[in-house]
Amino acid sequence: MHAGSRSSRVVCALSKAQLQDGYVSYPWEKKMKEVLPVPSASSFLSLLVLPTALDRANSRYNSVDDTLARANAWFLASQAAGVPIAFLNVQTEALLTKISGDMASATVNSGSLADLPNLANASLYGFEDYHGVDIGVVKAVRLWFTAAAGEMPVEITLEEGDTKLGFAISRTEEGFLYISSVMEDDSDRPTPSTRSGLRDLYREAKRASKLLVISRVSCRKVLPWMVSTSGAIRCFDTVSLSQKLSLHRHALRPILLHVLMWDFGTDAPNRPQGAPCPTPQPSPAFAELLRQNSFSWVDNQPAQADGEPGMVQGRDTAGDASFRFHNFSLPNNWV
């Protein structure tokens, strides 16, 4: 009787036993500085693709399938151009917005469970909150990717007497900044790009049929990160980057770049031999900025400049501008 009673109590206690959970402190800042390849920065990269608007009022949008196809096309085109990136994941992302008028009447209503099948492929649907305000939900697509073989830091140190950095920067149609050419040393004095090893990296990228893509400047990401409802890609321009690099050179402050790396074990080219690297033309605003004596132009590019063999280098304004300082005045948005 006693043994049975004790066994019953143990079984009862066992049925009531609960695992406890709680919070413990974690040295986030220390770990982020020690274990991440780029201190305190994520290696997960992403592009947010908004659905394409079908009218100027932004009241109707293409389907989710269309947005997924655009994200897929951008990624494959980037790889084909020689950008060393690898796919991680893709997901839809809901963005809340207030809607009214034509947009409210054009959206798919999600007022009941019966409306759910209509929402599966809709890029915009709406509902009313408790106050009768029309709320719209835009379904965008976020594409996650990463560098094919990590990111490599390149520190460019400057010295008195450096008249040029020794490289040019261009931008692909997909919005990636890359080193489009490097200059050979024209004297006994090596250029900063040679001293930093950037010229050798550029040559290795050429041999692997890859682009030497700049991913960060002073640890800040400079990769394309969003596609608007008009289809325009939000990315960084080469003119402002050239200005920043030129200021570094005149201040003799070192330049820290990160570049996307590729797998040195694969030699399969992603771009057909002889196909030009696609680069867009500068906008009128950027062209005007260059015209206002911000930089002097290089009319006599040295013949030994190291570029794509047998290819015409298509570069936008910063790629064709020298890094020589000339009558520079800071625009209003510079501090």
What topology is assigned to 149-325 in CATH? Answer: Pdz3 Domain (2.30.42)
Tell me the chain's radius of gyration from C-alpha atoms.
Answer: 27
Tokens of 184: 């050979």
Q: Which of 17-21, 94-98, 120-124 has the lowest mean pLDDT?
A: 120-124
**Looking at the chain, which residues constitute the CATH 2.30.42.10 domain(s)?**
149-325
Cα–Cα distance, 257 to 16 (Å, whole number)? 58
Q: Is the pLDDT of residue 307 over 70?
A: no
Query: What pLDDT is recorded for position 318?
Result: 36
Exposed, middle or buried by CB within 10 Å (0-12, 13-18, 19+), for 182? Answer: buried
* Per-residue pLDDT tens over the stretch 54-70: 877 666 788 899 999 99
Helix and strand element counts for the chain (H, E): 10, 15
Confidence of residue 163 (pLDDT cuts 50, 70, 90): confident
Query: What pLDDT is recorded for position 231?
Result: 94
